[in-house]
Amino acid sequence: MKKSGKILWLIPLAAILLAATIFMLPVFNLKTIEVETELADSSGEIAFSTELKQGSNMFLTLLNEGNIFTMRFTGAEKRLYEKYEFLENVAVRAVLPSTVFIKFETREPVFEIAYGDRYLVTDIKGCVLGSRDNHVLGFPRITGMEIEQFSLGCIVCGNDPGFEKLADIYNEMKSYDTRFLTAFREYIEWIDVSSRDVIALYFDGRVLVKFDATADVAGQTAAMCRILAEHIKSNEKGTLDFSSGENPVFSPD
């Protein structure tokens, strides 16, 4: 009976040793880090910022700086939160045998700012959420901004009064869309802020709108939406000018 008891005691120990041996096999070494994001150009930097090492054992890393029960690298999640304040609901998970999967949410992307041959995607405050090679429809394309350099999470043109005007224009259009179930924001092709006095907005490939940048642009935006909805036909082209006098003037092409 004593011998039988010893054998029974050795079974769980052998199982633990076998599991430990299996978990240390090279097949469980980290090979791939995948990032779920529409901003593919930023995925490499985000993956690098986790500080997870290619070739490291997944289970040992989870034991050292993660939660092996939930299979999440909590240390890597903390580093991403600390470096990129705009990230929300970050999850860095182990997907066996050798993949790490990163998923997160960001602040709402609003603008695409032309930067050389690329576009910086920012939120309403100008925080850089990522970059793209091509313009995506539905995001106002901002031109005329002078940007020397950028990094993920930084505020570009935060002190530029032109950017503050852009936020006023966008917020007023968003308010109008919400109240009247319209989609004016979806039809902005570009907004140019290269001039101190005039902000130019191109709408739906047919109407150029000139705002007086020295006046209340939110009020001008509300008026623009009403004029486009009620007074300019959907097939009309021309220029709607708020900068030439007290009242806006529409000049058909």
Reduce the secondary structure of the chain to three states and give it as a string.
CHHHHHHHHHHHHHHHHHHHHHHCCHHHECCEEEEECCCHHHHHHHHHHCCCCCCCEHHHHHHHHCECCCCECHHHHHHHHHHCCCEEEEEEEEECCCEEEEEEEECCCCEEEEECCEEEEECCCCEEEEEECCCCCCCCEEECCCCCCCCCCCECCCCCHHHHHHHHHHHHHHHHHHHHCCCHHHHEEEEECCCCCEEEEEECCCEEEEEECCCCHHHHHHHHHHHHHHCCCCCCCEEEECCCCCCCEEEEC
Question: How does pLDDT run across 53-66, given as a tens digit for each residue?
Answer: 999 998 889 988 89
Q: What is the pLDDT of residue 15?
A: 53
How many structural domains is the chain composed of? 2
Shared domain check, 234 and 207: yes
d(CA 40, CA 61): 26
124 with 210, same domain: the answer is yes
Q: Is 13's pLDDT higher than 90? A: no
Structural domain including 42 reads 25-106
Query: What's the whole-number average pLDDT of the chain?
Result: 86
User: What is the reported pLDDT for 188?
Assistant: 92
Domain C-terminal end among 91, 106, 121: 106
Whether residues 75 and 172 fall in one domain: no
Q: What percent of the chain has pLDDT over 70?
A: 88
Are 121 and 241 within one domain?
Answer: yes
Digit-coded pLDDT (tens) for 217-227? 999 999 999 99
**pLDDT score of 1:** 45
| Residue at 123 is within a domain | yes
The pLDDT value given to residue 16: 57
Q: Let me know if residue 176 belongs to a domain.
A: yes
pLDDT confidence tier of residue 182, bands split at 50, 70 and 90: very high
Domain for residue 196, yes or no?
yes
In this model, does residue 231 exceed pLDDT 80?
yes
**Does residue 68 sit in the same domain as residue 163?**
no
Per residue in 77-123, pLDDT (tens digit) is 999 999 888 888 999 999 989 999 999 988 889 999 988 888 999 99
Stretch 220-240: mean pLDDT, rounded? 94
* Inside any domain, residue 18: no
pLDDT digits (tens, 9 = 90+) for 26-53: 888 999 999 988 777 788 889 999 999 9
Is residue 5 over pLDDT 60?
no
- CATH code for the domain of 93: 3.10.20
Output 10-19 pairs: Cβ under 8 A, ≥24 positions apart. Answer: none
Q: Tell me the average pLDDT across 163-182.
A: 92
